[in-house]
Structure 1
Amino acid sequence: MPTTKPVPSAREQELLERAYAYSLTHGLADLSLRPLAAAIGSSPRVLLFLFGSKDGLIRALLARARGDELELLKSLRYDDRPGLEVVAKELWTWLAAPERRPLMNLWVEAYGRSLVAPDGPWADYARSTVEDWLELLKASQPDGESKDAQARRTAVLALLRGALLDLLATGDLDRTTRAVEQQLKTR
């Protein structure tokens, strides 16, 4: 029988939101509970009580970050299947927006950690985000079930991820946007 986690208390939710804001600025890789607790108006003991462990807190923060991504994916669902290019352009606009840089930096950190520490709190993060994005892209394709459609959406996802990494490394929005748009025209 599966167990369900109880609904978080208002205090737990408040501290999670504060910790999430902190992690967007400071990252998660070197997260230390003392500085985090001091910055968000709590104590390490309270955080451990609410989240069970540092790993539990990291899992909660990753779930919170993934929640932001899933909200985007829900907002981009289409009934008329506008095509891969249209949806990919909208995704790029969302990903590349300057106000999303902290979230995208956190995403890159979590994605990378998920690959090198697959058994820790990062477990499955990379795979889950790939599946989420591929599902959205599939929903945009009239022929989404075919092997060719699967290959096209995989290529588009690789293009978006590569351009995002380049954008985060260089800050060159114009160049990366032109590259994405040029590549999408050839699909």
Structure 2
Amino acid sequence: MTGDGPPPSARQAELLDLAYRYALEHGLADLSLRPLAAAVGSSPRVLLYLFGSKEALIRALLARARTDELDLLARLREATAEKQPTALNVVAAEVWRWLAAEDHRALLTLWVEGYARSLVDLDGPWAGFARATVDDWLHVLAAAQPPQERHTPAGAAQRTLVLAVLRGALLDLLATGDVDRATAAVHQQLASLSPPSADAAMID
């Protein structure tokens, strides 16, 4: 499921897809194999046979969520690459438009759940999920910066600030559903962005 083992069987892939749809609707925090198995037309015994354990199934579901996130980020990069200028604030505004879209709400709620759980479950199936997603988003934002800005401490700090604004506004939006207020706050912050100093020290 994570690329480290043999490819899944057709039945395993089918059940993972059905379980993922279930997770998008119900979340993963209180995942129980019995209702999950009933929802996907299987049994707890079959799920344990195919995935090895409940923890392994959760890891597979988180990997599937990250795959969907990366696919969407790739399409986002392609879309923003065609825009001029491809400044950080332009790309960040496109990222926010994607985050605020109603049809991404279930995926992002699952992402936030995995992010939060990975901060306290350091050795369980959630381990590393938050760090990986931070790196994924920073990579997208870094690609929007010219190389002379991207490889400086100031450039790294600037995209980190943008990510913090986007993540905070997303949490607010998921909690309240107030798209207009969250969007106004994001746009206000992005409008205040200024390029890092041209003579900032380069970093590796």
The answer for the alignment partner of 1:49 in structure 2 is: 49
* Contact 1:81–1:141 (8 Å) recurs in 2: no
Comparing 45-54 with 68-77, greater Cα deviation is found at 68-77
Q: Deviations over 1:12-35 (max 9, x none)?
A: 111111100100111101100000
CA distance in 2, matches of 1:100, 1:53: 29
For the pair 1:86 / 2:94, whether they are aligned, the reply is no
Query: For residues 91-136 of structure 1, what are the alpha-carbon distances to aligned partners after superposition, in whole Å with 9 as ceiling and x for unaligned?
Result: 1111111111111111111100000111100000000000111011
Question: What are the within-5 Å matches in structure 2 for residues 37-116 of structure 1?
Answer: 37-77=37-77, 78=81, 82-116=86-120
Q: How does 1:1-187 map to 2 (within 5 A)?
A: 4-77=4-77, 78=81, 82-142=86-146, 143-187=149-193
Task: Report the number of matched residues.
Answer: 185
Shift of 1:47: 0.8
Distance of aligned partners of 1:174 and 1:34 in 2 relative to their CA distance in 1, 3 Å threshold:
same
Give the match's secondary structure for 2:63.
helix
Equivalent AA in structure 2 for residue 89 of structure 1: A
Gapped regions of structure 1 (runs ≥ 5): none
Amino acid at match of 2:92: A
Q: Distance in 1 between matches of 2:186 and 2:69?
A: 20
RMSD over aligned Cα atoms: 1.4
Deviations 1:57-107, CA, capped at 9 Å, x for gaps? 000000000011101221233388711111111111111111111111111
- Provide structure 2 residue ranges, at least 5 long, that are not aligned to the other structure: 194-204
What TM-score does the superposition give when structure 1 sets the normalisation length? 0.95
**Contact 1:81–1:139 (8 Å) recurs in 2:** no
| Percent pairwise identity | 65
* Secondary structure in structure 2 of the residue aligned to 1:76: helix
* Corresponding residue number in structure 1 for 2:197: none
Larger radius of gyration: 2
Give the 3 Å change call, closer, same or farther, for CA 51–104 of structure 1 in structure 2.
same
Q: 2:130, 2:185 → 1: CA distance?
A: 24
Q: Which amino acid aligns with 2:61?
A: L
Letter of the structure 2 residue corresponding to residue 161 of structure 1: R
One-letter code of the match for 2:35?
P
Equivalent-residue separation in structure 2 for 1:121 and 1:4 (angstroms): 15
